[in-house]
Amino acid sequence: MSEMRQADATMTNPVVPGFHPDPSICRVGDDYYLVCSSFEYFPGIPVFHSRDLVHWTQIGNALDRPAQLRLPAAMPSSGGIYAPTLRHHDGRFWLIVTNVAEGEGNLLFTATDPAGPWSDPVRLPEVKGIDPDLAWDEDGTCWCTVAGGAQVRIDPYTGETFGPAHQVWAGTPGAQAPEAPHLYRIGAYWYLLIAEGGTERGHAVSIARGRTPTGPFEPCPDNPVLTHRGTHRPIQNTGHADLVQGPDGSWWLVLLGVRPRGGTPGWHVLGRETFLAPVTWVDDWPVVGEVPSVLPTPAWPLVPGAAEEVRDDFDLSELRPQWISVRDRPAEHCTTKERSGWLTLRARGASLDEPDVVFAGRRQQHLSCRVRTRIDPAEGRGGLAVRLDEEHHYEIEAAEGQVRVLSRVGPFRTVVASRPVPAGPVVLRLDVTPAPPNGPRTGPDVLTFGIEEQDGTFIPLGALDGRYLSTEVAGGFTGRVIGLYAAAGTVHFDWFDYEPLGL
């Protein structure tokens, strides 16, 4: 993640770039662990590790088995896994989350190692509401608080609840969407941190405190303690935060935000990303500093991870944890074991319009990037795609003897360009670059699809406006995922390059 930047370079926010929303964090000794929402993608809930709060490495996905994660084809995009909370208690990691797919609800998982394996779910049928939080008081009682401020005592081992849920604090009167509650004991008080205002431009963080975990709670007189609404700051939609102490005892927030680009109204295309902000305490209330694009040098040593490689040669028996698929990933449809050093995809849905399309991708994490893959389409049809949902995607598709660029925007599906190519493998390429200025109507970026000849010459076939693969156009809660798909028969991919061209 941020380890893709050189250790001695300027440290920039977001610390976990790309579609990594709703961060929740916990500290165990000198180690930090962080999880994010994953919605309709499988495996679910990416898990990250850091030693310095700045450099994060993905160590796995918590929900990597069908028994843990049910995402049926009938579930719409931006359904699925919402807003996990990660905590460490009594020598164990606890992960509680909502799966909004029909028949699922709130689920609780445990692990002794956050890299996995994680347990099968403990179901919480009596806990109603999304964004569940876990907190333990001094006598070991476990409290679960959900969006809207309802709280109930639970047995986290069995999922049993004790007594009816009671209302503790629903945020600022009149503010929409009080959600993402996190309850903490800090000093003499229990603090209840929430998001409110909706996850769009009005997003904000507010807090209240009380003497017991069940309240009564007194709102902070300076609420919201963080918001960027109504500003020109490059980071917007700031909210859905979690508190943590740094290695030197200082306090920090991890939170989600977006980086809109272009003219009016501004389009964000990478989804909601994870940012870091400093916190100080005044009169036992947190004061949140600015969410900067450039982070100040911390007072503790930096511990960067290994640089992420540009190329994935598909030389492992399983896909690396950054790879995600739409709703499921059956081994008979997606494998690196059929042809050594290749990823093999066997089609199921006939296009990316279908909810059961066979797709394997990774989150777009940079505002500018270059993506390349070598595909052998001799046994089928497939290619390289940029996906937001079933109704918003662009792709370059190869079948024996032809390559074509396709666009799906809302109800319209268009063949943008086509070109004959020689039989055999072909290199497909995508360049994502800033949009040329066009006043207030300037889009966020341009996606140029084409092929590469053997000498590396790029032959562009179609340049598409990036605003149509943005949340402001498509709606929903996710961001762009760039990857590989099969639409007919069987296709093989020799390698996949993701090369950042900017932040």
Residue type for 234, please? Answer: P
- Residue corresponding to tokens 């961001």: 479
The question of whether 179 is a catalytic residue gets the answer: yes
Q: Which of 337, 339, 290 is closest to 317 using CA atoms? A: 337
- AA identity, residue 153: R
Structure tokens at 208: 């209240």
C-alpha 134/C-alpha 264 separation (Å) is 40
| Distance of alpha carbon 84 from alpha carbon 100, whole angstroms | 12
3-state secondary structure of 473: helix
> Three-state DSSP class for 466?
helix
Q: Residue 144's beta-bridge partner residues? A: 134, 152
CA 465 to chain centre: 23
Q: What is the dihedral of CA 227, 232, 234, 237, to 10 degrees?
A: 30
What span, in angstroms and rounded, lies between the C-alpha atoms of 80 and 130?
11
24-28 and 41-42: which strand pairing? unpaired
Q: Which of 40, 131, 179, 273 is flagged as catalytic?
A: 179
CB 116 within 8 A of CB 134: no
Beta-sheet pairing, 285-288 with 24-28? unpaired
Alpha-carbon distance 19 to 44, whole Å? Answer: 13
In order of 83, 151, 390, the CA distances from 115 in angstroms are 19, 29, 31
Residue 265's Cβ-count burial label (10 Å; 0-12, 13-18, 19+) is: exposed
Length of the chain equals: 503
Q: DSSP 3-state assignment of 95? A: strand
**Amino acid type, 387:** R
Cα separations (Å) of 462 from 261, 429, 465, 481?
22, 11, 10, 19
Residues involved in catalysis: 22, 179
